[in-house]
Every structure is written in C-alpha cells, then in structure tokens.
Amino acid sequence: MAENTISKNDAEHAQLTHFLTQQYLCESLTVAEVNTLLNYLTVLHFSTDAVISDVGDVGDELYFVVKGEVALVIPDGSIEYEVVRSGAGEMLGMMSFFDKRARSVRLVAKAADTQVLKLPRAMYKRMKVEHPYIAINIVEQAVLSMDHLFRAVSSDHAQFSHYLYGSGVKASAD
C-alpha cells in the first residue's frame, strides 16, 4: 500500500479535485470547499487483493473509492465470501467508523491500482468544528452509501432466494 498526503501543487490534486466535483459528496460544494476537503484526506493506492481493512479492526477511518473496485468479504477459513463490490464514488467503512465497533467484513482491493481517499477519525472531528457544512456532506454520503449497500445486498438475497426456492409454493387448502 502506498499512502501519501495530497499536495496542492501536484497533478494528483487536480485530478482528485475534478473527480470529487463530479460526485454527490461534493455536489453542493464550491471548488474551494473541495480543496479544503482534500486537506483532510490521504490518498491510498492498493494492488489487487490487498487488504484495506480487516475483520475485527475498529474503524478509525472512512474510505471513498476513487478508482478501481473494493469488495466487502467475509472470510471463513481459507475461503472468502464476497458480499458486494463497490466502485468509484462509493464510501466504505461507515458503520464501524460511526459506531466505533469492530468491522464485520474485510475490505479488499479487487483491481490493479485501486485508489481510495482515507478520512481518519481525528481529521473528521476537526472538520466537524472547522467546516461543519463539509462534514454534513460526509454524513449524507455515508447514508447514501449505506442505502446503496443495503439495496444491493437485499436484491442479491431476493434473487438467490428466488433461485433457491423457486417462485413460491402454493399452500394447501386443507
């Protein structure tokens, strides 16, 4: 994993600013506010199958996928069961971040050069005081990401149930 702060002078900063201005997270932010947000974030780069965060870790950071894919997996011995994949524009790690409990899934990069933005808890706490409007956008993005995750898992569960049990069994009229 390569981790680096975002310098205001490099091309990566310009690319991230452009990317973020296209996302719901920053839809109502000015370019100056997006640049302010970037001051609180760190860029992480992962190779395929790298573990971003593991089961049992207490979530001291949120992740926002910029490039690549991240799978939420449940490990069971040598087998991993993939719950869902998230791509660019999705936030991950919200539940553990906000409830401060151990993570129940492993976050695994599933594409070469997966890039995520990391928001550490300490920086989020500062942001709530220094830039509450930006912090509210983070919370709204977390809610939307949880909704997206819930709907994806619910849909997959419904399709699996239909496959497994068929279209239903007609109850007898005894």
User: Is 28 a domain residue?
Assistant: no
Q: What pLDDT score was predicted for residue 116?
A: 96
User: Is 18 a domain residue?
Assistant: no
Strand partners, 43: 4, 117
Other CB atoms within a 10 A radius of the CB of residue 104 amount to 12
Instruction: State the pTM of this model.
Output: 0.80
Count: domains in the chain: 1
53-105, pLDDT tens digit by residue? 999 998 899 999 999 999 999 988 888 899 889 999 999 998 889 989 999 89
Q: What pLDDT score was predicted for residue 124?
A: 95
Q: What pLDDT score was predicted for residue 161?
A: 64
Distance separating alpha carbons of residues 4 and 1, to the nearest angstrom: 10
**Residue-range definition of the domain harbouring residue 108:** 42-157
116-161, pLDDT tens digit by residue? 999 999 999 999 999 999 999 899 888 887 776 676 666 665 666 6
DSSP secondary structure code for residue 98 in this structure: H
User: Is 10 a domain residue?
Assistant: no
Is the CB of residue 141 less than 8 Å from the CB of residue 91?
yes
Distance separating alpha carbons of residues 120 and 42, to the nearest angstrom: 8
Q: What is the CATH number of the domain that holds 60?
A: 2.60.120.10
User: Is 86 a domain residue?
Assistant: yes
User: Is 35 a domain residue?
Assistant: no
Q: Could you tell me the two tokens for 109?
A: 């990069």
User: Is 29 a domain residue?
Assistant: no
User: Is 102 a domain residue?
Assistant: yes
